[in-house]
Amino acid sequence: MEYKWARRVNKGEPYYECSSKGDKRYSALYTKINNVSIEELYQLDIKGYRGKVNHWIEAKNKPPLNKSYKQAYKEYLALWRLYFTLHPDLFKQIKILAKNKTITDMFATTEINQARAICDLLNSNFNPTI
């Protein structure tokens, strides 16, 4: 089975929203690694704005400073891989919850978003319990 993602779906299509307006357990704003949200880690550390802005929200919608979007996405995906390695039960649950649905992130403005990252991990050979 292939998982797919989108910002939104057409009316009537089955979807599973992974954002602060959906299942917060899969929202970068609420998922934490060492008590820091994936959102903050991405905006400040991966994109290179830590120490240059006062809050992660100031880096939102700005490009990465010292890397390509492709490299930034690889590092963002690694955060999600680590998160699910720390919480393998949540990875198992999303496999079931999103079955035959499109995983959505209504707030996504770029290809770097939690719906895509989660789909990429679901569609890969990733197994957080190994």
Give 101's DSSP letter: S
Q: 105: pLDDT confidence band, cut at 50, 70 and 90? A: very high
pTM to 2 decimal places = 0.94
Q: Does the pLDDT at position 130 exceed 70?
A: no
- 102 φ, ψ (degrees, to nearest 5): -90, 130
User: Is 98:122 a contact under the CB 8 Å cutoff?
Assistant: yes
